[in-house]
Structures are given as C-alpha cells and as structure tokens.
Amino acid sequence: MRKFNRRAILSAITAALPTLLIDKARATTTTASLGFYVCTSAELKVGLSAIFSGQTADGTRIALSLFRTKTGLYAVDAVCTHQGCVVKGTGSLLVCPCHQSAFSAQTGAVMQGPGGGPKSSIKPLVKYKVTEKAGKVYVKGK
C-alpha cells in the first residue's frame, strides 16, 4: 500500500467534497490477494467516476477514484499531486478544485497542470489494482 505524506492526508480528510465514505465494515474486509473492499459493482455506473475516502484496516487514510468504462474498471489515487487536495470526479476526467489540474480517471495521467499550466509541471496520479469479484470491488496498492 502506498504511503501518504502528512499534507496529503490532511487535505484528504478536511476536503469538503461530495465523497462516498468507505465505512468501517467495508474497510476491514481485506484479503491479501484482492486488497480492501470499497463498494459493490452496482454502485459504479459506466462513464462516471466516483470518489471514495476512508480508512483501510491497517489505519491508512485513503481517497481514491473508481471509474468504469464499457471494457474495464480503473482505480487511481484521488489526492492531487500538486498540493494534496482531493480531486472531483466528472466522468472520465478528475479535476482538482484547488488549482484546476486535471487527470485521466482511467490512467491517472495529467491532462492539465495547475492553473492551466503544462502537464509536465506535476506528477500523474498513482494507479491502483482493482478487482471485481462476486459483485464486490476491491482495490489494492502497488
């Protein structure tokens, strides 16, 4: 599981964004091979991204985006690599409310830097391994 720095954690916790909380029962459902349980498959609609935040069983605070296409399901970190705000999901694009950086919800690639700046000015969002099994979605860090 990826380690988060203090700034990223505080931003993720304090961001007043419409996120879905990973409740305690979900976060503690962890398997070594699949990672931690985030949501049911039915909660994720094709073409839309959803931001989830919560705490994993090992106490790690997380914020991540899940994005479903017709062909797959993708998970990326939802903490902006610029200064740690939590991005908002708008479909295939994740936009940071702080300085308007934009990222691909499928790959985490930078689509626009802070303030409309160059893509090369910040790092992409970290991708996570995502697995659907028996109607449930699990995410595992790299």
- Residues of this chain that bind ligand FES (CB under 6 A): 80, 82-85, 96, 98-99, 101, 114
Nearer to ligand FES, 56 or 101 (CB): 101
**What number of CA atoms fall less than 13 Å from residue 79's CA on the CB side?**
22
Distance of CA 96 to the CA centre of its chain: 12
Minimum CB separation from ligand FES for residue 140, in Å? 25
**By C-beta, is 35 or 112 nearer to ligand FES?**
112
Q: How far is the CB of 124 from ligand FES (least distance, A)?
A: 13
Residue 117 makes CB contacts below 8 A (sequence gap 6+) with: none
Secondary structure letter of residue 116 according to DSSP? G
Q: Which is nearer to ligand FES, 44 or 122 (CB)?
A: 122
Closer CB to ligand FES, 54 or 114, in the complex = 114
CB 4 within 8 A of CB 10: no
**Residue 26 CB, nearest approach to ligand FES (Å):** 27
Q: Which amino acid is at 46?
A: V
Residue located via tokens 């705490």? 55
Shortest distance, position 107 Cβ to ligand FES, whole Å: 17
